Amino acid sequence: MVKLKETYVCSSCGAGAPQWRGQCPRCGEWNTLQSVVVEKNRPAGRAGRHAAVAASRPVRLKDVTEQHHTPFGTGIAELDRILGRGLVPGAALLVGGEPGIGKSTLLLQVAGAVAASGRSVLYLSGEESLGQLRGRAERLGVLYDTMLAVSSSRVEDALPMLEEQPAPDLLIVDSVQTLTSTRAEGLPGSVSQVRAVSTELAEKCRACGTCVLFVGHVTKDGQLAGPKLLEHMVDTVISLEGDRRQQFRMLRVLKNRFGPNQELLVFRMVQQGLDLVDDPSTFFLDARDPSLSGTSVVMTVDGQRPFAVEMQALVTRSYLSIPRRTALGVDVNRLHLLLAVLEKRLRLNFGQVDIYAKVGGGMRVQDPGMDLALVAAILSSFYDVPLPARSVFWGEVDLNGQIRPVSAQSVRSVQAKRLGYSSMFCPEEGGTGVTTIGMLQEKLFRNPAADA
């Protein structure tokens, strides 16, 4: 027997809804939803499965050629590098980030660069009208004849364009949470709709050799919204991070089947879009005054790229019964751990002071090598003594106060020398030879008792 389901269709605009409601969700008219019984989609039967198996015969892997899967560039050489080989035909990429962080702007720049090379691009927008898209493309200077745009929230409106010959080289879906498919029930953004839309578009693009870029929303804790299947079914997952009140944006590769992951690019938000920072090593040290106490420089590594980042600390007298411990850009639990180590191993008393820690430039650092720089900044503010000029720190501090080596030691050392840092406090040969926080205190503050 054919399975039937009941749905509701608006008599005014034709929009569908899985449940009855008084007002149409699309046109806003009242009492226009009418009950309609339709056939429920079912999986293919035994005959259909046999036909599918017969259509996809196994072949020898060595006979497979890549003549129709030659990667093409995004227009940004560094982005091509971290993606591995650029944009691969038939591949699926997921770009996530907070609202207003610049996802649509970056993808529109990529679409313009691809269209400028003579390839065809289809931009499917479920969030903006065609007039808004044209205004943004005109501001970015990416209006080309080979760039097509569709403003729709139905995935069925884009599927016929993928079946045309030749199919577009690049499809941008902005965003996957705003599209709906008739093969699934629920409202846009629900688990069933996101799964159906992404699966349908990815399979169609893989068959016709079109590279698809999905824009995905994120939850309040920064995770990609929707089912985890969305991250598993795509080839590359990209996260665009940063503070919307800051000028810079960081593009991080979380998953990549065509190249290394955990790579990082730094962009600067300008009026013409996102501008790549060629050498971000000292980008986060602008307007730093090394003569002030409570600041240090840490040579951190994110992916394979070393950065010189300022670590700030403020130790001030507390007038509260429970002193404050606040951290921005640093895990507050790591701050509590390091303070406990300092109190135990250096016999310092932090019970009557408030302690604040912050990463300069609004960046967030999770590298364990920042422990030593944070300890140096806290001690500098506690004694109110500035650290030596042109000094840089990195190293992990364990619970015994020992300073341990971290990954990419040689990369950090080479970059620190290139940037002109003469005093490197790190647990390796070529540094100052500090192995404990006690030795660090002796070298930086000759008579800490008198200074305190």
Q: Is 185 among the annotated ligand-binding positions? A: no
Q: Is 395 among the annotated ligand-binding positions? A: no
Give CA–CA dist 180/325, Å, rounded: 46
Q: Quick check: 305 and 263 in contact, CB under 8 A? A: yes
Q: Is 227 among the annotated ligand-binding positions? A: no
Q: Is 5 among the annotated ligand-binding positions? A: no
Q: Is 103 among the annotated ligand-binding positions? A: yes
Chain CA centroid to CA 36, Å: 43
Give CA–CA dist 224/255, Å, rounded: 13
Q: Long-range contacts: 70-75, Cβ < 8 Å, 24+?
A: 71/258, 72/114, 72/117, 72/119, 72/169, 73/113, 73/114, 73/117, 74/110, 74/113, 74/114, 75/109, 75/110, 75/112, 75/113, 75/114, 75/116, 75/117
Q: Is 355 among the annotated ligand-binding positions? A: no
Q: Long-range contacts: 335-338, Cβ < 8 Å, 24+?
A: 335/374, 337/399, 338/371, 338/374, 338/375, 338/378, 338/397
248-256 vs 4-10, strand pairing mode? unpaired
Give CA–CA dist 206/50, Å, rounded: 22
Tell me the residue type at 65: T
Q: Is 3 among the annotated ligand-binding positions? A: no
DSSP, residue by residue, 256-319: ESSS-SS-EEEEEEETTEEEE-S-GGGGGGTT--TTSTTEEEEEEEETTEEEEEEEEEEEEE--
Q: Is 131 among the annotated ligand-binding positions? A: no
Known binding positions: 97-104
Known binding positions for ATP: 97-104
